[in-house]
A and B are shown apart, each in its own frame.
Chain A
Amino acid sequence: MRTYVIIDASEITSVDFDKVLETSADTLRYSVDGSKVLLKYEGTQPFFLLGKTEYTHSEILSILSGPEWTSEEIN
């Protein structure tokens, strides 16, 4: 079961990429304004994400489809 969290872009330096499913800082999905970043993991919540709101897959897809995360076609 995958669990999703959203962190501030300023917190990327604290992310241990061995503990999340994202490959590296270079492949992260940012919000449209670049202020937030999506992370996901399986199993126990990593220590550096403690306290963050957790989302299920369906919940995060709903969030990601909104204008904060998805713009109309970008040229």
Chain B
Amino acid sequence: MANKRISSLDDITLVGGTSTAEVNANDILPITDVDDTTGSLQGTTKAVKVSDLMGEAPVQTADISGLATQVSLGNHEALTSNAHGISVFGATLVDDADASAARTTLGLGTAATSASTDFYPSALATTSYTASGTPLAFTLTSAANNKVVTVNETNNVYVTVPTGLGAGFNCSFVQLGAGQVVVQAGSGVVVGAYTPGTTALNTTAGQYAALNLIPTSTDNYVVWGESTTTPFSNSYSVSMAGDDDYVDFGTIPQFALVSTFSVAGWFKTNTSSRSLYGGTQHYFYPTSSGFSYRINNQTATIGAGTNYADDSWYHFILTYNSGTATIYINGNSTPIGSSSVYNSTTNSTAGDYFRVGARAVSGGNPSTYFAGSVDEIAIWDSVIGSSEVSDIYASNTVIDLSSNSGNYTSSSNLKHWWRFGDGDSGSTVTDKVTSGGVDGTLTNGASFSTTTP
């Protein structure tokens, strides 16, 4: 038998005769229609109250005077959310068709989805910056105070927190694209990890991750949220044209009256090159037939006869040990050569100029420019051992020199390490060794490049 809508009690179909009347179980009882309704059923007056229907589930027809058998009220329950203790308005919140209007009534805005632009409550003001340069970067301004800074880039974006944002400045970063947001301190600013003693967790953990910049005092912050350490990678180098461009690091104290030091890095020449790095009393450059190395104004050719092709990356390690210079190439623990150069110590009392892509002549003027690319220049105040060479080269990959790895055990002697683009922004080449670090400056058009070893 098909369902039948009951508009009045007179419409209820009885089966089994008048003495054992039963309501057809498939009939639907509309609550509004039967509330306090008095009608005639087979000549008998019946009264039905809503409370009778709401009191029990399923409702027994016996509760309705004159009805003897149970009525299935599955359809009834669908009609009244009160049966579940949910208000009518509450029911609209969980109903797809009404949810939008209900959320609006509550001031919640539209429903959130992970990829929607309204992922955040509309009460939170958002702002964004245009990241530019290589690598992508921007600097915060006070306009971001109390706001969510959304970053939607494919590549990682480096955000510099400058001084002067004001006491109490705070904001959050949300990574909308694949590119992670790396929060780093500008000069005069401290950005620490929320958990003391941990490596700075200053990078958003992935797409839709949020990171909060929390002030602890003026120009001092901690970052907290869905964070991770900046993944170690090598995405940039510095490119120089061999005309007049170079990277200027000022003077390096590690070259002052020392008897031992080591310098390492990667280079790729574009044309027959000159100074890979240098100062007034020292320089180092590859030629088509070996390396020319000078210290304290004495020059030696090391690895003579070795041909270095243009447009190929090479890794070098130069060690200086009480007057003897040794050069290792591409991780080979057998050096390409050694030579006695000058005497036991450098002769500068205040360090020497340090340029990458040029040397310095009298007065610090640049000279002998390098054409090509340079990456990952590091200086130790100790002699790198031959057993360490292979693990620093690491089968033609760039490693984190701040941590020992395999046979590389000299990380504690690392005094300078410039990554030439990775973690840098603007024209500054940041020293990754923060204690006593010396930052460099891209000069005369030297630029960060995505060419890497």
* Residue positions of A touching B, CB distance < 8 A: 2, 4, 21-23, 27-30, 38, 40, 57, 60-61, 64, 70-71, 73-75
Pairs A–B under 8 Å by Cβ, sample size 10? A21-B245, A22-B244, A22-B445, A23-B441, A38-B243, A57-B241, A61-B243, A64-B369, A73-B299, A73-B368
| Separation of A40 and B443 alpha carbons in the complex (Å) | 12
A61-B371, A70-B368, A75-B297 known; A27 vs B243 contact (CB < 8 Å): no
B243 near A74 with CB under 8 A, answer no
B142 in contact (CB, < 8 A): no
> Chain B interface (Cβ within 8 Å of chain A)?
241-245, 248, 271, 294, 297, 299, 361-362, 365-369, 371, 441, 443-445
Q: Shortest CB–CB separation between residue B274 and chain A, in angstroms?
A: 8
Residue numbers in A under 8 Å from B271 (CB-CB): 61
A-B residue pairs, 9 tightest by C-beta: A29-B244, A21-B445, A74-B361, A22-B444, A23-B443, A27-B443, A38-B244, A75-B297, A27-B444
Could you tell me if A40 and B445 are in contact, using CB atoms closer than 8 angstroms?
yes
Are A27 and B299 interface neighbours, CB within 8 A? no
Set of chain A residues within 8 Å of B242, measured between Cβ atoms:
61, 64
Q: Which residues of A contact B445 (CB under 8 A)?
A: 2, 21-22, 40
**Please, which residue of chain A has its CB at the minimum distance from the CB of B283?**
A73
From B243, B299, B443, A57 is in contact (CB under 8 Å) with: B243
**Closest CB-CB distance, A1 to chain B, in whole Å?**
12
- Kindly list chain A residues whose C-beta atoms are within 8 Å of the C-beta of B441: 23
Give every chain B residue within 8 A of A27 (Cβ-Cβ).
Answer: 244, 248, 366, 443-444
Shortest C-beta distance, A2 to chain B (Å), equals 7
The CA-CA distance from A75 to B298 in the complex, in Å, is 9
* B299 vs chain A, min Cβ distance (A): 7
Q: How far is the CA of A39 from the CA of B271 in the complex (A)?
A: 21
Q: Which residues of A contact B368 (CB under 8 A)?
A: 70, 73
Distance of A30 Cα from B14 Cα, bound (Å): 113
Question: Which of A2, A23, A28, A61 has the most CB atoms of chain B within a 10 A radius of its CB?
Answer: A23
**How many angstroms between the C-alpha atoms of A31 and B441 in the bound complex?**
23
Other A-B pairs, 12, CB within 8 Å; known A29-B369, A38-B244: A21-B444, A21-B445, A22-B244, A27-B244, A28-B444, A29-B243, A40-B445, A60-B243, A61-B242, A64-B242, A73-B294, A73-B368
